[in-house]
Amino acid sequence: MLGYIIKRALYMVPTLVLTSILIFTLIELPPGDYFESYITELLASGETVDPQKIEFLRQEYGFDLPAYERYFKWAFGLLHGDLGYSFEYQLPVSDVIGDRLWLTIIVTFFTIIFTWAIAFPIGIYSATRQYSWGDYGLTFLGLLGLATPNFLLALVMMYFAKE
């Protein structure tokens, strides 16, 4: 069993590397970079743009490097715990994620508890009253819940919460 786990973990490494290369390539495909869209936003709002400052920022964040060098710089930083800088929030990505991580963990924990609190009694009922109308009804509701897209379920729940 331990050999199987090690083998699967070793398969995971090239899969993660190839996935990161593919995603990085997809992000790099559109023409331009962040600073070109930033310049467009500034000009649209009537502000002036300092070309020297933009060029300095391009060099500072490595946007003047070829794509493969940026990828290796990003991957090296990722392996050392540096997730980069978010231009959207003007903060390090680790801070942006860290601010939301605990709330996500709390919501996930209570979701699991709620799911178990509902699923275990239903499972016990279905096991003790096999092939009954209640068993079929609860099985149907469970399958309906699995087949319903999450966004649709959220919209229905918001509708009933509003009522």
- The closest of 97, 69, 70, 72 to 83, measured between CA atoms, is 97
pTM greater than 0.85 (yes/no): no
Residue with the larger pLDDT of the pair 74 and 43: 74
Q: Which residues pair with 91 in a beta bridge?
A: 86
pLDDT of residue 13: 94
pLDDT, tens digit (0-9, with 9 covering 90-100), for 74-90: 999 999 999 988 888 98
Can you tell me the mean pLDDT for 101-115?
95
For residue 133, pLDDT beyond 80? yes
Q: Estimate the crossing angle of helix 2-28 against helix 67-79, to 10 degrees.
A: 140
How many domains does the structure of the chain reveal? 2
78 and 50 housed in the same domain: yes
For residue 61, pLDDT beyond 90? no
77 and 147 housed in the same domain: no
C-alpha 84/C-alpha 77 separation (Å) is: 7
pLDDT of residue 47: 83
77 and 104 housed in the same domain: no
Residue that is last in its domain, among 35, 57, 90: 90
123 and 63 housed in the same domain: no
pLDDT of residue 126: 94
85 and 103 housed in the same domain: no
Tell me which residue has tokens 């649209």: 44
Owning domain of residue 140: 99-162
pLDDT of residue 100: 92
83 and 103 housed in the same domain: no
29 and 55 housed in the same domain: yes
Confidence of residue 42 (pLDDT cuts 50, 70, 90): confident
* CB atoms closer than 10 angstroms to residue 32: 9
C-alpha 30/C-alpha 34 separation (Å) is: 11
Residue that is last in its domain, among 39, 57, 90: 90
Can you tell me the mean pLDDT for 18-35?
90
pLDDT of residue 32: 81
- The closest of 71, 91, 68 to 79, measured between CA atoms, is 71
Residue with the larger pLDDT of the pair 99 and 20: 20
Strands (E), the chain: 85-86, 91-92
Q: How far is CA 72 from CA 67, 68, 82, in A?
A: 9, 6, 13
Say if CB 42 and CB 35 are below 8 A apart: no
85 and 41 housed in the same domain: yes
80 and 15 housed in the same domain: yes
11 and 82 housed in the same domain: yes
84 and 111 housed in the same domain: no
74 and 153 housed in the same domain: no
